[in-house]
Structure 1
Amino acid sequence: MTTTLERHMVTIGGLRVGHGPAVVIGGRVSLRPHRGQVDAREALGERATLVEPYSAADLPAIAALADAVVVGATWTRDIPLVRAAAGLGLPVVVERRPSASVEEWVGLAGYCAAEGNDQVVLCEGGRLDLGVLRAARAASGRPVLADVSRDPGLAAAAVAAGADGLVVAGPAGTGGSGAAGRAEEAADMRAAEEAVTLVGALLRPESPATLAECREAIDRVDAALATLLERRAALAGVVQRLKPVGGFAGRDLARERALVARMAARAPQLGEERLASVMNAVIEAGLHLAEERARS
């Protein structure tokens, strides 16, 4: 009998999906464009993370060269192929057919489990329906990925909706090639990694079990904190330009005390006294920055 952690976590290419921080997975490759006219090993060339077969003939190559097999949205009704893919013993990423309900999507994962493979991850792609993504995770208890290859701008929203990971297709998966394709992939990966770091640190609870995991979690929180502090400093500079009396002489101590009280309600373990010293340092840093910019 599997444990709760095992039911909610699947390892793909060394990445733990469904436990701890959200992850970014690159290199989704589909063999469907080749339509069986090119040998799967030749088409893949080297090891890939996620691979979608065109037919059952591609499965031996996928078993040898992929970290996970993709049950693509276009062939989710091909139950024999779904079962054959699950029979490889690799983690299975089950995409949702655009018109499929949550029940159908989760049920398809059940076919994979029926083959003795419970390493199943759900994946929402195409035109992302983030509400469906959230509902599927809650209904199934399985990890859920969001494929943001078509619109990397949705990465942050997907993490906020509860995605356990983001899929970013490489040039082989999107049809791109050459330096331009690699540059585009690198930019998409950076956007996804920023979403995982910043949004994940704010909204995704973590329970690190080791010192290394704890330090990684702290790094993510610190990255989010630095981003927010930079934004706050910029807004403080705008306030200084709008106030009749700016700089240190224009500080509103009553407003600052009220600010600290509101923050203490969100962070009761820190309390007003500790937060007051922290916010005083933040406010003074912003004022110093505003004065430096005014003189330049």
Structure 2
Amino acid sequence: MEVTDQTTVTEFIFLGFPGMLYLRLTLFVVFLTVYLLSLTANTLIIFTVVMEPTLQMPMHIFLGNLSFLEIWYTTATVPKPLATGSVTISVSGCIAQYYFFFSTGATECILLAVTAYDRNLGICNPLRYSVLMRIPVCLHISAGSWIGGFIAPLLSTILITHLNFCGPQKINHFCCDSDPIFKLSCSDTFLMEALSYTCISVLILSSFLLTMSSYGHIVVTVIRMSSQEAWRKAFSTCASHLTVVTIYYGTIIFAYVHPPAKYNFTIGKVVSVFYCVVTPLVNPLIYTLRNKDMKKAFRKFLAQKRLLMQGIWESN
């Protein structure tokens, strides 16, 4: 009988995107460029929302929360693929990455649903909006979204810490996703996979349905409006958020709402690039390009910084 040593595996090796050297270098440049642009764009949005008094309203506070979240969401996964040479991670580090990856993803699902509800109140109940969505209420909802998102994957993460890993060490991914981790374990993971699959599916689908129900209510309300100007304003307000929702949920539903046995690692890696790398950059661009208040405040913020830098330069 072959005896398996279940204590030998202390780290995993990411396979990432294998291929020719020029392909790996190309992916490195693309990942690094998108990551830096994402950090810059989301940081600028946060500073603009915080520093501009005209943006101190619920919609932009939720936007600032989303931008802050995108920084942590992409930072939890992207730096590892940027490492050169053999990309390794300890077992405990892999589990920690899994937790932060899914907690930030869960928080984004909740924040997108909350932002849709905010737009629902603003368009469908404009007279009661200032009462129902006051700044203190907005801040409490934002805090609750973060707390709920970080609690959601806690149970599955605790269960993963009790798994035994006895080889192989190679993760067919560029980050510690749930399915690759389960495939590497030599423990019986059937119940754990079922629990993880159920929790992830319930979170994604419930937040998606809540988001779409808010937009369904908005559509019904807009159809009843007689003014074309009201139509234009309502759809313009929601267009950016709905675009983000479509991109984000389209990729994560494809990646996670499926039976565990149907997971395809090659397709999973490609799809993961979209919600881990691309959407954190696309989201702030969509928000700033589709939101007139944000564009105006952003130009004002850059003009102030330009004048400040000019004054420093002239004083020297």
Task: Give the TM bin, normalised by the shorter chain.
Answer: under 0.3
User: Greater strand share, 1 or 2?
Assistant: 1
Larger radius of gyration, structure 1 or 2?
Answer: 1
TM-score by length of 2: 0.25
Higher RCO by CA contacts (8 Å cutoff, separation 6 or greater): 2
